[in-house]
Chain A
Amino acid sequence: GAGVSQSPSNKVTEKGKDVELRCDPISGHTALYWYRQRLGQGLEFLIYFQGNSAPDKSGLPSDRFSAERTGESVSTLTIQRTQQEDSAVYLCASSLYYGYTFGSGTRLTVV
């Protein structure tokens, strides 16, 4: 597609539920990144994919967070047993080299 697409745009979930956030990168972009942006903060790196593998998962905050990518395309970020501190905007970006294109993010609210 023309840009990076993320869905859903907004998600409200109850504490303890699992959520899945989806990212569709730009076709042909081999690198894909997930970032988290808490209210009033900058973006925090979560995970990097090169193709289907994730050589850098250093930013995942706990084992409740996981991500996968299939076919060098769609990526899914899963948060299990959500907590209120997981409330944030989750942004995805894709890249060929060091030039990023970001999606518009998913705003996750845990109530």
Chain B
Amino acid sequence: AQTVTQSQPEMSVQEAETVTLSCTYDTSENNYYLFWYKQPPSRQMILVIRQEAYKQQNATENRFSVNFQKAAKSFSLKISDSQLGDTAMYFCAFSQNSGGSNYKLTFGKGTLLTVNP
């Protein structure tokens, strides 16, 4: 079974600074997908960034980038130029094709990020 571990329950950063959230996972599969989701108080899960395991290049989306280390099974999220609106819970998630088109997600417990003015 796959597991996802986020070892930082809470983090804080000053506005405009950079912060890195950690995530490790465990799987015996070779092909899979990794995600970072943001959950603001509205509860809706918002996709921040996605990485396919077969791609060696780290994914980037504007101020968000990942450091994907496949051998180490590590998938950290870097947020540059932090903004007040980045304050939220961040979840790391793992998915593989579980049969047919079943891409169910396994989530970590989350990191509460607070951006301070």
Contacts and interface: CB of A to CB of B under 8 A. Distances in A.
Interface of A: 30-31, 33, 35, 40-45, 48, 50, 55-56, 59, 89, 91, 93, 95, 97-100, 102-105, 107
Nearest to A9: B43
Contacts of A91: 43, 45
B91 A42 contact: yes
A30 B102 CA distance: 11
Contacts of A40: 109-110
Contacts of B108: 42
B103 to A, nearest CB: 4
A50 B102 contact: yes
Nearest to B91: A42
Most A-side CB within 10 Å, residue of B44, B98, B99, B106: B44
A12 B109 CA distance: 25
Nearest to B35: A100
Interface in B96-117: 97-110
Given A41-B109, A42-B108, A100-B47, A50 B42 contact: no
A5 to B, nearest CB: 11
B102 A31 contact: yes
Nearest to A107: B43
A81 B108 CA distance: 29
A31 B95 CA distance: 14
B45 A33 contact: no
A44 B4 CA distance: 12
Contacts of A55: 99-100, 102
Contact of B104 (A42, A48, A99): A48
